[in-house]
Amino acid sequence: MKILGTGSVLPKKIVTNEDLSKFLDTSDEWITTRTGIRQRHVISDEYIEDLGAEAALKALEMSGKSLEDIDLFICSNVVNEYITPSLACVISEKIGLKCSCFDINCACPGFLFALDIAETYYRAGRVKNVLIVCADEPTRMCDWSDRSTCVLFGDGAGAVVLGEGDNILATKTHSQPAVDKLWEKRVIEPTPYITKTETNVPLQMKGRDVFKFAVSASTTEVVDLLDSIGMKKDDVSYYVVHQANMRIIDAIKNFLNEPECKFPTNIADHGNSSSASCAILLDECNRKGLFKEGDILVFSAFGAGLLSAAAILRW
């Protein structure tokens, strides 16, 4: 497939590190040096489905495709106000889309899992044009008195429209199950028959373990995927890496021995917006005109599961 259009939307409320240090035992100095994050956009009176719908319409507008052209809509999301129907259905109704649609919950690498699914449908001859929306509000999952998690996240939505082409050169998804590294539990209504213990638990993360996994999975997958299609690091124009922590991005850059200019980032302004992260970064770079025709983009993302994924595409 080929990316025909991109779009993204952020909540209007901006929360700075200084704002957080007013109610948490933290500081701008700690957050900036340990994560590279200076501020994040946080959901307040908006609904994540509205951000997702707006991002979708922006991507559609850029793509030149109409709603009727879209054969499949994949929505990547971890949590939203509906348990059912899927967020994909909610967004479809909002924008008037009538094609087959479903949600995937693949945490932070969700955009790359969606890209992999879209390309697989396309290669099977079942679709021509696919809409992907990554809409996530991880700030709703955190315990806002837990300084080790809530300072890391921001919310937002990113979208792409994919059409006919041979620009997706390779995709790879990977799972290394380790639930205890990053998880959250919520309890639905009890039934008269529940005898087991169930409790709501906000987002829990073993930060150092996830950090190590992220660097190791990303570097291994990028090298292997490039190798699988006979490409070298010199062929790569840009690495679009999940914006989880600037130190993770720096470690990946150092392991790959690649220059900083190949790693566009927006983590300082947005924090970690889960699966929306890569899609938003892609849209922002695209709208700034960073990518030139023929550029090779390498994507890499990692998160809860533990899941990771990589993709290579020619712009």
Catalogue the active-site residues: 108, 242, 272
139 binds ligand UT7 (CB under 6 A): no
Which CA distances in Å does 124 have to 109, 121, 127, 128, 153?
23, 5, 8, 10, 37
Closest contact distance (angstroms) between CB of 153 and ligand UT7 is 8
Q: Which of residues 188-207 bind ligand UT7 (CB under 6 A)?
A: 207
215 binds ligand UT7 (CB under 6 A): no
The encoded tokens of residue 189 equal 């209504």
147 sits near ligand UT7 (criterion: CB under 6 A):
yes
Asked whether position 183 contacts ligand UT7 by CB under 6 A, the answer is no
Could you give the CA distance from residue 173 to residue 57 in angstroms, rounded to a whole number?
Answer: 28
Among 272, 273, 300, 308, which residue sits at the site for ligand UT7 (rule: CB under 6 A)?
272
Per DSSP, helices labelled H in 79-229 are 87-95, 110-123, 147-150, 207-228
- Residue 148 engages ligand UT7 in binding (rule: CB under 6 A): yes
How far is 34 from 191, CA to CA, in rounded Å? 44
CA angle 51, 245, 284 (to 5 degrees): 40
- Contacts to ligand UT7 from residues 225-244, by CB under 6 A: 244
Residue with Cβ nearer ligand UT7 (148 or 237): 148
Report helix, strand and coil shares of the chain as percent, to nearest 5: 40, 25, 35
Q: Does 78 bind ligand UT7 (CB under 6 A)?
A: no
- Alpha-carbon distance 268 to 311, whole Å? 24
Rounded distance between C-alpha atoms, residue 190 and residue 214, angstroms: 36
Residue corresponding to tokens 């690498």 = 109
Least Cβ distance, residue 229 to ligand UT7 (angstroms): 26
Exactly one of 52, 163, 271, 303 binds ligand UT7 (CB under 6 A); that residue is 303
Does residue 100 touch ligand UT7 according to CB under 6 A? Answer: no
Task: Report the residue from 28, 30, 82, 250 that binds ligand UT7 according to the rule CB under 6 A.
Answer: 30
Least distance from C-beta 15 to ligand UT7, angstroms? 13
Please give the Cα distance from 223 to 172 (Å, whole number).
Answer: 12
Contact region with ligand UT7 (CB under 6 A), list: 28-36, 59-67, 169-177, 195-203: 28-36
Q: Given candidates 9, 42, 43, 108, which one binds ligand UT7 under the rule CB under 6 A? A: 108
Place of tokens 């700034």: 288
Q: Is residue 26 a contact residue for ligand UT7 (CB under 6 A)?
A: yes
- Give the CB-side neighbour count of residue 254, counting CA atoms within 13 A: 8
Residues of this chain that bind ligand UT7 (CB under 6 A)? 26, 30-31, 34-35, 108, 147-148, 151, 182, 207-208, 210-211, 214, 244-245, 248, 272, 302-303
